[in-house]
Amino acid sequence: MIRALFSAASGMNAQQTNVENIANNIANANTAGFKARRAQFQDLLYQNLIQPGAAATQQTTVPTGLQLGLGTRAVSNEIIFTQGDFSETDNPLDLVIQGNGFFQVQTPSGQIAYTKAGTFHLNQTGQVVDPNGNLLDPPITVPQNALSLTIGSDGTVSYTLPGQAAAQQAGQIQLANFANPSGLNSLGQSLFQQTEASGAPIIGPPGGQDGLGTLMQGYVEQSNVSIVQEFVNLIVSQRAYEANSKVVKAADDMYQQVNNLKQ
Amino acid sequence: MDQISVLAAAGMQARMQSLDLVANNLANSSTGGFKTDGEFYTLFTSEAAGEDASGPSSVPMIQRQWTDFTQGLLEPTNNPLDFGLSGKGFFVVQGPSGPLYTRNGNFRFTTGGALVTSEGYPLLQQGGQPFHANTAQPLAVSREGEITQNGGSLGHVEIANFENPAGLTKYGANYFSNTTGQDPVEATGTEIYQGKIETSNVSASHGAVRIVGLSRQFEMMQKAITLSNDMSKQAIEQVAKV
C-alpha cells in the first residue's frame, strides 16, 4: 500500500521532470542552433513476492510470479541532433553546418567549447568571435579594411582588399565531431563541452573524410524544436501527472477507511 | 475472529496490492517500451475445506501478476538511433550477468562505436556479438533488422521471442530477464522502425477506471467489517443482557 503511494509519487516526479524539459525546449524555440532534448524514463526495481520459475511442488514450477513494481524514474534527457531549418540572413559571418559537426570556440578559461550556432562576428581587432566574444578556434583574423568576406563550403575564409584584384586567404574553419554527441555536456549559451561519454573530438575541415558537414554562408540554423510535438508532449505529461495524483488520493482514502475500522 | 471479518480483511489486503500494481502502471505511463501489469485473483482454499462444510473456508488473494505484451504506439523521435519494434519479440542486450531483453529501443554509440542502451549494455546481433559501427557515418536499419553503413552490412539485430513471455521477470530499467529457463526463439515477422520509439502501453483511462473500482470494493468490504462488528457488539450487549 505504501508502495502505491511511493510509485505514484515517483510518477509525479518523473512527469515534473518531463514538463521542465518541455518548458526549456519551448523557451528555446527561437534560439539559433538549439537542439531539443527528450526525457527518457525507466521502471524501477520490482519486489518479487513470488519468483517465476520457483518450485511450486516437487514436480512443477510457478509459470509466472507475482512482481510488484516500485515506480519510475527519469534516466536521461538526450539531445536530439536533427538538423534545424535554415533561414537566410545575408550576414557573411552567419554559418550553417549541413551535416555533422560543431564549431570550436575558445572560452575565457582557455578551454575549447563546441557549438552548432554559427552566428559569428568580428571583434575590435578583426578576430572572428561568437556572440559572447569567445574566439573561434583555430583563430581567424580579417583586416579592418577588407571589402568582401567569403567563406567556402570547405571552411576557407577569404577576403579582398581595396585596390587588389586577388582574394587573400585568412585561414580555414575546422569542425569537430564526436563519437557520441548525445553525451556532450550543455554549458548554456548554446555551448557544449566534451565529456568522457562523448569521447575525444575528431577535428577536420568541413566536408572532409571524417564525415563532417559542409558550411553554408549567409544562413542561420534555427532551433530544431517542434512546437506541435512539444505541446502534444505537454498534454500527455499533464494528464499522466493527474492520473498519478488520483492514485495518491485513492491510496489515502483506503488508509482512511482502514483507520475507521476501529470505532 | 469471525468469518466475515477474515474474508473482508483478505479482500482489502488484495485490493491494496492491486492498487500497488495500478500505481506502478500509471507511474510508468511515459516509460518507453513499458508493458502494463495486471493481476489474477484466486481463492485460497484451506486443506480442511473439503471435510468441514460448516462455512466458507476460502479467502480471496492475488495469485500472480501477468504482463500485457500488446504493442505500444510507435512515436517518431527523429533520432536515428531509436529503434521501434513492431510485432512480437525483444531486443537482446548483454547485461552484467547474462542476456537481458527489452523493447525500449533507445540506443547510443560508445566512443568505440558499439551500440549500447542507456546503461551501457551492448545491443547484440544474430550470433551474439555486439555491433561495431563508424560513429561519424550515418547508419540505416532495414525493416528486417539489417544495419547498414555506407552500403556495407554490419549485421542483423537479434530479436528474441519466447513461447511463454509471461514467464519473463521484470528486471527494472525496462529490461526483462529470462528466469524460467525457456530457450528464446527467433521472432518472425517483427519489423524494426528506425527513428521511432515504442511508447508505454499503459492506458490511463483503464487505470482510472481500475482505481474507482478498487476504491469502491475496498469501501464495501470496510462496511462489511463494520457491520460484522456491530452484529458482534449487539450479540454481546443485547442478547446477554440479564
Q: Looking at residues A73-91, what average pLDDT do you find?
A: 89
Q: Is residue B132 within 8 Å of residue B113, measured between CB atoms?
A: yes
**Residues forming beta bridges with residue B58, ordered by sequence position:** B45
Give residue B48's pLDDT: 55
**C-beta neighbour count of A26 within 10 angstroms:** 17
Determine the Cα–Cα distance for residues B113 and B189; give it in Å rounded to an integer: 28
Given a cut of 90, whether residue A210 has pLDDT beyond it is no
Given a cut of 70, whether residue B83 has pLDDT beyond it is yes
From chain B, the residues in CB contact with A76 under 8 A are 118
Interface touch B24/A5, C-beta < 8 Å? no
Interface touch A247/B26, C-beta < 8 Å? yes
Residue of B nearest to A55 (CA): B180
**Unique residue bearing C-alpha cell 518507453:** B32
For B177, counting Cβ atoms within 10 Å of its Cβ (0-12 exposed, 13-18 middle, 19+ buried), the class is middle
The pTM for the full model equals 0.81
CA distances to A105, A238, B123, B182 from A41, in Å: 33, 16, 19, 29
From chain A, the residues in CB contact with B225 under 8 A are 261
**C-beta neighbour count of A122 within 10 angstroms:** 17
**C-beta neighbour count of A259 within 10 angstroms:** 8
Length of chain A in residues, anyone? 263
The pLDDT confidence band at residue B49, using thresholds 50, 70 and 90, is low
Determine the Cα–Cα distance for residues A98 and A219; give it in Å rounded to an integer: 11
3-state class of A3 per DSSP?
Answer: helix
From chain B, the residues in CB contact with A7 under 8 A are 20, 23-24, 26-27
Determine the Cα–Cα distance for residues B165 and B153; give it in Å rounded to an integer: 31
Give residue B44's pLDDT: 73
Of A156, A197, A194, nearest to A176 (Cα)?
Answer: A194
3-state class of B71 per DSSP?
Answer: coil
All structural domains of chain B with their residue ranges: 3-69+202-239, 74-198
Interface touch A76/B19, C-beta < 8 Å? no
**Unique residue bearing C-alpha cell 582557455:** A110
pLDDT tens, position by position, B147-177: 998 888 999 999 999 988 888 888 888 999 9
Residue to test with chain A: of B31, B93, B194, most A Cβ within 10 A = B31
CA distances to A25, B71, B86, B88, B90 from B192, in Å: 28, 13, 6, 11, 11
Q: Is residue B174 within 8 Å of residue B4, measured between CB atoms?
A: no
Q: Is residue B165 within 8 Å of residue B67, measured between CB atoms?
A: yes
Q: Looking at residues A178-193, what average pLDDT do you find?
A: 88
Give residue B93's pLDDT: 95
Determine the Cα–Cα distance for residues B221 and A261; give it in Å rounded to an integer: 10
Q: What is the DSSP string of A11-71?
A: HHHHHHHHHHHHHHHHHTTT-TT---EEEEEEE--EEEEE-TT-BSSSS-B-SS-EEEE--
Residue type, A79: I
Going by C-beta distance under 8 Å and a sequence separation of 6 or more, which residues neighbour residue A88? A218, A219
**Unique residue bearing C-alpha cell 510470479:** A65
Question: Nearest Cβ partner of B27 from A179, A244, A257?
Answer: A244
From chain A, the residues in CB contact with B164 under 8 A are 63
Give residue A68's pLDDT: 86
Q: A173 vs chain B: nearest CA distance in angstroms? A: 19
Give residue B50's pLDDT: 54
What are B242's three cell numbers? 440479564
Given a cut of 90, whether residue A22 has pLDDT beyond it is yes
Question: Nearest Cβ partner of B170 from A46, A182, A246?
Answer: A46
Q: Looking at residues B174-185, what average pLDDT do you find?
A: 87
Give residue A222's pLDDT: 93
Q: Looking at residues B194-209, what average pLDDT do you find?
A: 91
**Beta-sheet pairing, B152-156 with B146-149:** antiparallel
Q: Looking at residues B200-211, what average pLDDT do you find?
A: 90
What are A128's three cell numbers? 572572428
* CA triple A109-A113-A117, angle to 5 deg: 130
Q: In sequence order, which ranges of A107-207 are alpha helices (DSSP H)?
A: none
Q: B36 vs chain A: nearest CA distance in angstroms? A: 11
The per-type count for chain A, helices as H runs and strands as E runs, is 2, 21
Residue of B nearest to A10 (CA): B27
ipTM of the complex: 0.73
